[in-house]
Chains A and B, each alone.
Chain A
Amino acid sequence: MIGQIFEVTRFNFMSIKDRLYSSLVIVVGIAAVVSVLVSILAMGVGFQATLVDAASPDRALVLRKGSDAEMSSGVDQDAAAVVTQLSGVFGVSAELFAVADVPKRGSDSVANLPLRGVSPDGFTMRPAIKIVEGRMFSWGTREVIAGVKAAYEFEGVDLGNELPLRDMSLPIVGFFEADGGAYESELWTDVRTMQGALRRPDFSALRVQYEPSMGDSLNELVEEDKRLQLDFVPETEFYAEQSEGTSAIISVFGYVIASIMAIGAIFGALNTMYSAVSVRSREIATLRALGFAGLPVVVSVMIEALFLALSGGVLGAVGSYLAFNGYTASTLNQASFSQVAFDFAVTPQLMSLGIIWAIILGFVGGLLPALQAVRMPIVNVLRAE
């Protein structure tokens, strides 16, 4: 039986070059589905990674009760002082988070560039922040440092340039990296400078470094205190929630578009395989008349369909890896209402997912024509003409 399958499959592949153009329909159709699926999902994965990777289990945010983002939150000086005194808290960075309208590079339309005012503890608790060009800003001055992705995305975020903000202008003295995290999309400065520029006496939120085992009790202490009216949210929880909405939308979009395309690709594959079977109907009937069983014929048609589909899948997955892996894009993070730049992440998992899709499409597209190939009445086919 295996021998028969091998022989019949060999026949098929020998004639594939005569059917090159129609075989290409399967390969290209499935490559298109896979590349669209993988690229869009890579966007969602990249976006999520950018936010979630920035989270650490020993840090938390303290926000105004009810707020789920720094932008909509507000914490006054007194509350900040209370939180600093809590046991289990190692460091507190009172921070002010806002956005400024700045045009993106190559566009005349402005977008929300996130600005973060931090306290000295903000750097100690986030060791990932590294100055990669220029220098750190000096405390108590108007100097700012810019995340590398903010510099990449926004017009005028250049070393030595001054960024106009309200009635001040902030000299950009350095660029920093943050292990690819969302901070790289931000501009950082002394929180006092931000307060002055925004004419705000309070903070947006407190960034707290704490003993993780004390998390629950800190949570209780902060949230139970009626005077404070604050929420204590661990970073892991906070960022998971922030990325949830947008990355879910991206995934749903990717799956919907790819599914519709997949339906089209199945029609295309069916078309190709039906015509492949019909072109070879006489040959198949001859083999059957010579005593070849039905199964090898079915299997050989399936192998051909799967081979073409797999080529398409690999082409699509590798293509989207080459085209998009590491490609930087930025979007409005609905939760923080600020622009987040992220890199597309075409991970091995996504590429395998794409190839699995390709195999399924090839299977579905090949099955009916393969069954058709053995159902053809041998005698009629041989007598025709």
Chain B
Amino acid sequence: MTSFGFLLANLGRKPVRTWLTFFCIIVCFLLFGLLRSVGTAFTAPPNLSGVERLVVSPKYSIIDPLPISHMRQVRSVPGVEAAAHADWFGGNYLDLGLAFPTIPVKPMEYFDLYSEYQIPQAQLEAFENTRTGAVASRGTAERFDWRIGDVIPIVADIYPKMDGSLLWEFELVGIYDRPDQTSGNFEDFYIHYDYFEEAKQHSKGMIGWIAVRVENPDAAAEVASAIDARFENSRDPTRTMTENEYNAQFAQQIGNIGLMVTMILAAVFFSILLLVSNTMFQAFRERLRDLGVLKALGFSDGQVARMIIYEALILTLGGGVVGLLLCYGLLIMVSPILQIYGTFTLDALSLALGLATALVLGVVVSAVPAIRARSAPVVEVLRARA
């Protein structure tokens, strides 16, 4: 037997109680993980691609268009290395409504700027050379079981074609991979800008926003101000932010998700605190005599107190780890379904926070029993009949 074995044996005293408590803790941390993932999905996690990009958007409202001529001017701002424009197509796929964001881009320009997106060169060239071509993210392609060569029909809501028809058809010519799940971008579906520009009925010559790569990331703020200064007195002034700020601002529109998550978690953890500390108290009360015996056998006050704390930690950390793992597995299963709302994952911060919470929970619930165990009088408890 080991000391750990002894702790486990003690937890096995009331197996039903221990397991029920353990399940509760698992459920609690499963919720913690899920809610954290909701929180991070809607507060736009920082882009981890390591690329510092700026987004040039219309100053007054993101729904305003920008003239395509802004591109040339943005490129001429000192410090700008490359720029690519994009727009919001909207549209409905099948009866799913907005199933994925559809974005008209110049293929070479855009994939050069988003160099962390991986697409076979041949597919990129096919995209460049196919006017009605489109490329999808791996996630979207798998979700709808698309193959290269498939024709994807999208019904426009903002952009009718010149002839008034709403049906746009795109040929899938490539599939790209996003390197990390926590990048702020969603599973975008890219269509060819040239075709879009030519075929759309209105807003000719207008684009949605411009993504910019700067030469020196440290000077990004200066470049952003320089871009905005360039357009300040034009008909279409701009507001330039880093990509992270842009995504975060978008996400915050949903509302104060963070506050909601915090309030739910407060309710959950208050309940679990009560439950686990109740379990620890009961276990402590039943074992008062055992603790006295241990002291008589030569275990010190500190050792006995630590034993109580470790016991609680086995429950809370064990439950925490299992709960977070369960959450991780669950998220892998459901995140493809939820992808249009955001990227739901457990990031390292959430994991660390979860384990830290489990640790604190374990110490808090065992603090009072441990202190009492420490001062439990040996002499009195020993004579009492079991």
Q: Does a CB–CB distance below 8 Å link A and B in the complex?
A: yes
Given that A24-B274, A268-B24, A337-B63 are known contacts, is A332 also in contact with B158, CB under 8 Å in the complex? Answer: no
Does B298 count as interface, using CB distance less than 8 angstroms? no
Q: Which of A316-354 contact B (CB under 8 A)?
A: 329-332, 334, 337, 339
Q: Which of A4-32 contact B (CB under 8 A)?
A: 21-22, 24-25, 28-29, 32
What is the bound-complex CA distance between A209 and B153, given in angstroms? 35
Whether the Cβ atoms of B341 and A257 lie closer than 8 Å is no
Does B156 count as interface, using CB distance less than 8 angstroms? yes
Whether the Cβ atoms of B35 and A257 lie closer than 8 Å is yes
What B residues does A330 contact at CB under 8 A? 255
Stretch in A105-113, A124-132, A177-185, A284-292 with 4+ CB within 8 Å of B: A105-113
Chain B residue at minimum C-beta to C-beta distance from A329: B255
Provide the A162-203 mask, 1 if CB < 8 A to any CB of B, else 0: 000110000000000000000000000000000000110000
Whether the Cβ atoms of B160 and A229 lie closer than 8 Å is yes
Partner of A101, one of B21, B62, B272: B62
Given that A245-B97, A332-B253 are known contacts, is A264 also in contact with B278, CB under 8 Å in the complex? Answer: no
What B residues does A49 contact at CB under 8 A? none
Interface residues on B, range: 35 or more
Partner of A329, one of B31, B202, B256, B281: B256
Whether the Cβ atoms of A22 and B27 lie closer than 8 Å is no
Whether the Cβ atoms of A166 and B60 lie closer than 8 Å is yes
Stretch in A60-68, A81-89, A141-149, A216-224 with 4+ CB within 8 Å of B: A60-68
Q: Which of B22-39 contact A (CB under 8 A)?
A: 23-24, 27-28, 30-31, 34-35, 38
Chain B residue at minimum C-beta to C-beta distance from A330: B255
Partner of B164, one of A198, A199, A229, A337: A229
Chain A residue at minimum C-beta to C-beta distance from B264: A36
Given that A21-B281, A98-B63, A165-B60 are known contacts, is A28 also in contact with B252, CB under 8 Å in the complex? Answer: no
Provide the B146-175 mask, 1 if CB < 8 A to any CB of A, else 0: 000000000111101000101000000000
What is the bound-complex CA distance between A337 and B235, given in angstroms? 24
Given that A25-B275, A66-B160 are known contacts, is A257 also in contact with B264, CB under 8 Å in the complex? Answer: yes
Provide the B268-283 mask, 1 if CB < 8 A to any CB of A, else 0: 1011101100110110
Whether the Cβ atoms of B27 and A267 lie closer than 8 Å is yes
What B residues does A337 contact at CB under 8 A? 63
* Chain B, interface SS category: helix
What distance in Å separates the Cβ of A300 from its nearest Cβ neighbour in chain B?
Answer: 20
Whether the Cβ atoms of B27 and A32 lie closer than 8 Å is no
Chain A contributes a number of interface residues (CB within 8 A of B) equal to 56
Q: How many A-B residue pairs have CB under 8 A?
A: 132
Whether the Cβ atoms of B60 and A331 lie closer than 8 Å is no
Whether the Cβ atoms of B27 and A28 lie closer than 8 Å is no
What distance in Å separates the Cβ of A101 from its nearest Cβ neighbour in chain B?
Answer: 5
Given that A261-B27, A268-B275 are known contacts, is A331 also in contact with B63, CB under 8 Å in the complex? Answer: no
Q: Which of B317-344 contact A (CB under 8 A)?
A: 341
Does A56 count as interface, using CB distance less than 8 angstroms? no
Chain A residue at minimum C-beta to C-beta distance from B166: A66
What A residues does B97 contact at CB under 8 A? 245
What is the bound-complex CA distance between A109 and B257, given in angstroms? 14
Q: Which of A78-123 contact B (CB under 8 A)?
A: 98-101, 107, 109-112
Whether the Cβ atoms of B20 and A267 lie closer than 8 Å is yes
Partner of A28, one of B16, B38, B158, B271: B271
Partner of B158, one of A72, A199, A249, A334: A72
Whether the Cβ atoms of A109 and B252 lie closer than 8 Å is yes
Whether the Cβ atoms of A270 and B61 lie closer than 8 Å is no
Whether the Cβ atoms of B274 and A67 lie closer than 8 Å is no
Given that A68-B157, A100-B60, A110-B249 are known contacts, is A274 also in contact with B16, CB under 8 Å in the complex? Answer: yes
Given that A67-B158, A260-B30 are known contacts, is A32 also in contact with B270, CB under 8 Å in the complex? Answer: yes
Provide the A23-45 mask, 1 if CB < 8 A to any CB of B, else 0: 01100110010011000100000
Whether the Cβ atoms of A268 and B271 lie closer than 8 Å is yes
Given that A29-B274, A66-B155, A257-B35 are known contacts, is A332 also in contact with B62, CB under 8 Å in the complex? Answer: no
Does B254 count as interface, using CB distance less than 8 angstroms? yes
Provide the B59-97 mask, 1 if CB < 8 A to any CB of A, else 0: 111111000000000000000000000000010000001
What A residues does B31 contact at CB under 8 A? 257, 260-261, 264
Does B204 count as interface, using CB distance less than 8 angstroms? no
Partner of B61, one of A22, A35, A36, A98: A98
Does B17 count as interface, using CB distance less than 8 angstroms? yes
Whether the Cβ atoms of B157 and A69 lie closer than 8 Å is yes
What B residues does A22 contact at CB under 8 A? 278, 282
Does B219 count as interface, using CB distance less than 8 angstroms? no
Whether the Cβ atoms of A267 and B60 lie closer than 8 Å is no
Partner of A332, one of B20, B157, B255, B272: B255
What A residues does B16 contact at CB under 8 A? 271, 274
What A residues does B27 contact at CB under 8 A? 260-261, 263-264, 267
What A residues does B155 contact at CB under 8 A? 66
Does B293 count as interface, using CB distance less than 8 angstroms? no
Partner of A66, one of B17, B20, B157, B282: B157
What is the bound-complex CA distance between A265 and B20, given in angstroms? 10
What B residues does A99 contact at CB under 8 A? 61-63
Chain A residue at minimum C-beta to C-beta distance from B35: A257
What B residues does A65 contact at CB under 8 A? 160, 164, 166
What distance in Å separates the Cβ of A65 from its nearest Cβ neighbour in chain B?
Answer: 7
What distance in Å separates the Cβ of A20 from its nearest Cβ neighbour in chain B?
Answer: 10
Given that A99-B61, A111-B252, A332-B255 are known contacts, is A264 also in contact with B24, CB under 8 Å in the complex? Answer: yes
What is the bound-complex CA distance between A271 and B21, given in angstroms? 7
What distance in Å separates the Cβ of B63 from its nearest Cβ neighbour in chain A?
Answer: 6
Whether the Cβ atoms of B268 and A261 lie closer than 8 Å is yes
Does B267 count as interface, using CB distance less than 8 angstroms? yes
What distance in Å separates the Cβ of A364 from its nearest Cβ neighbour in chain B?
Answer: 13
Does A371 count as interface, using CB distance less than 8 angstroms? no
What distance in Å separates the Cβ of A374 from its nearest Cβ neighbour in chain B?
Answer: 17
Closest 3 CB pairs of A and B: A264-B27, A332-B253, A66-B166
Q: A66-B156, A67-B157, A267-B24 are in contact. List 15 more A-B contacts (CB 8 A).
A: A32-B271, A65-B166, A66-B160, A72-B90, A100-B60, A101-B239, A112-B63, A245-B97, A253-B38, A257-B31, A257-B34, A260-B31, A267-B21, A272-B278, A331-B253
Q: List 19 A-B contacts (CB under 8 A).
A: A21-B274, A24-B278, A25-B274, A28-B271, A109-B252, A166-B60, A199-B235, A257-B31, A261-B27, A264-B24, A264-B28, A267-B21, A268-B20, A270-B20, A271-B21, A329-B255, A331-B253, A332-B255, A337-B63
